[in-house]
Amino acid sequence: MKKCFFLAIAFLTFECSQKNSDPNPSQNREVYVAGYTLNAAGTQVAKFWRNGVATNLTDGTASAGATGIALSGPSVIVSGWDWSHHSDSTKVGKFWVNGSELEIGGVCYSTVAVAANKTDVCVLGLGQSGWTYWRNGSPTFITTTVDSQTTGVAVNEGDVFVSGFSKTVVRAQYWRNGVLIYTNSQPSVANAIAVSGTDVYLAGYLSEGDASHTKAVIWKNGIITELTSGQVDAQANSIFVSGSDVHVGGHEGNVAMTWKNGSPTNLSDGSGSAEVKSIVVKEGDVYAAGYEGSSPRLWKNGVLQKLSDSNLNGAAVSVAVPQ
Looking at residue 204, its pLDDT comes to: 98
Partners of residue 304 on adjacent β-strands: 299
List Cα–Cα distances, 188 to 171, 218, 224, in angstroms: 5, 11, 11
Give the chain's mean pLDDT: 90
Helix (H) or strand (E) holding 11: helix 5-12
Between CA 92 and CA 82 the distance in angstroms is 6
Sheet architecture: strand order including 53-56: 53-56, 44-50, 32-38, 314-320
Asked if pLDDT for residue 67 goes beyond 80, the answer is yes
Between CA 22 and CA 5 the distance in angstroms is 35
Taking only the tens place, the pLDDT of each residue in 9-58 is 433 433 333 333 344 556 679 999 999 999 999 999 999 999 999 999 99
Q: Spell out the domains of the chain, with CATH numbers in brackets.
A: 30-320 (2.130.10.10)
Taking only the tens place, the pLDDT of each residue in 201-241 is 999 999 975 557 999 999 999 999 999 999 999 999 999 99
